């Protein structure tokens, strides 16, 4: 009888339609999060390790054990072109699980980046390679290869549940997780939101006030806001 979910690799995962992933990739994390109804974000302590890093792709998930990066090598074999890796850990850990060697291996498999609720190192090289990484820490502390975790099971990373095949989008504003079956609908909703924002941006540029665009004068007065001249 299996007592835990460690030591498992799911080799078949469902991925969303690549056209929907491409559409979603056009939008920023803030827009996607709003379009979903203000949900789906990882905790904001996950930050890009180099300026300008961005990623969007279906997740191959990894559950790590603290101080151990064995499962990244197992995960590399499961990566398909366009995937990203999302790594959680069985407990909080800021060890440097990942660096340029693993990035080189993942890139050769078509991987588009990493989100990890842990630490990474070799950041100068990751930037030079153009491999986008989002992590909770930059840490030179090395790890071993000795303890089983799992690949392609549901993982929690920075308070977000990520199922294999969910699409993860990350940019300087944060990391958002879009459930696989919602990717097309969320991309459409994000497009609508962006069109709407474009119209508002034009008005703001022309000097129109939010007070008038959003018709806020009446509700502000009803709430008791007073303008005092003296
Ligand atoms: O080798 C490791 O264990 C992690 C690392 O620094 C790399 O991937 O370059
Ligand atoms: Mg290294």
- Residue 124: inside a domain: yes
Protein residues placing their CB within 5 Å of the ion ligand 2: 99, 122
- Residue 228: inside a domain: no
Q: What is the dihedral of CA 180, 184, 189, 191, to 10 degrees?
A: 120
The total number of structural domains in the chain stands at 1
- Residue 43: inside a domain: yes
- Residue 17: inside a domain: yes
Give residue 50 CA to ligand 2 midpoint distance, Å.
16
- Residue 153: inside a domain: yes
Q: What is the pLDDT of residues 92-104, one digit of tens each?
A: 999 999 999 999 9
> Which atom of ligand 1 is nearest to 125's Cα?
9
Q: What is the CATH number of the domain that holds 182?
A: 3.50.30.40
Supply the pLDDT for residue 230. 86
Q: Mean per-residue pLDDT for 9-23?
A: 98
- Residue 212: inside a domain: no
Residue 133: CB atoms within 10 A of its CB come to 26
- Its domain, for residue 129, covers 8-187
> Residue 124, class by beta-carbon neighbours within 10 Å (0-12 exposed, 13-18 middle, 19+ buried)?
exposed
ipTM above 0.90, yes or no: yes
Give residue 96 CA to ligand 2 midpoint distance, Å.
9
- Residue 217: inside a domain: no
CA 210 from centre of chain: 31
- Residue 2: inside a domain: no
Q: Which ligand is nearest to the CA of 143?
A: 1
Q: Which residues are near ligand 1 (CB < 6 Å)?
A: 69, 98-102, 121-122, 143
Q: What is the pLDDT of residues 39-58, one digit of tens each?
A: 999 999 999 999 999 999 99
C-alpha to C-alpha distances, 204 to 35, 193, 199, 211, 212, nearest whole angstrom:
21, 16, 9, 11, 10
């Amino acid at each position: 009888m299996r007592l835990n979910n460690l030591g498992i690799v799911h080799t078949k995962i469902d991925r969303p339609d690549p056209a929907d992933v491409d559409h979603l990739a056009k939008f920023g994390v803030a827009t996607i999060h709003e379009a979903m109804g203000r949900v789906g974000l990882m905790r904001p302590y996950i930050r890009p390790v180099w300026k300008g890093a961005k990623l969007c792709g279906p997740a191959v998930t990894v559950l790590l054990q603290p101080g151990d990066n064995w499962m990244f090598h197992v995960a590399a074999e499961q990566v398909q072109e366009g995937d990203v890796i999302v790594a959680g850990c069985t407990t909080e850990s800021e060890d440097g699980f990942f660096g340029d060697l693993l990035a080189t291996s993942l890139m050769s498999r078509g991987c588009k980046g990493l989100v990890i609720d842990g630490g990474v190192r070799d950041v100068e090289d990751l930037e030079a390679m153009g491999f986008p990484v989002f992590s909770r820490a930059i840490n030179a502390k090395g790890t071993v290869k000795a303890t089983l975790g799992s690949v392609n099971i549901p993982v929690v990373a920075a308070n977000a549940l990520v199922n294999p095949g969910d699409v993860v989008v990350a940019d300087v504003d944060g990391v958002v997780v879009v459930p696989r079956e919602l990717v097309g609908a969320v991309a459409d909703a994000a497009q609508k939101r962006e069109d709407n924002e474009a119209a508002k941006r034009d008005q703001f540029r022309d000097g129109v006030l939010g007070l008038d665009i959003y018709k806020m004068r009446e509700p502000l007065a009803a709430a008791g806001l007073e303008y005092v001249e003296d």
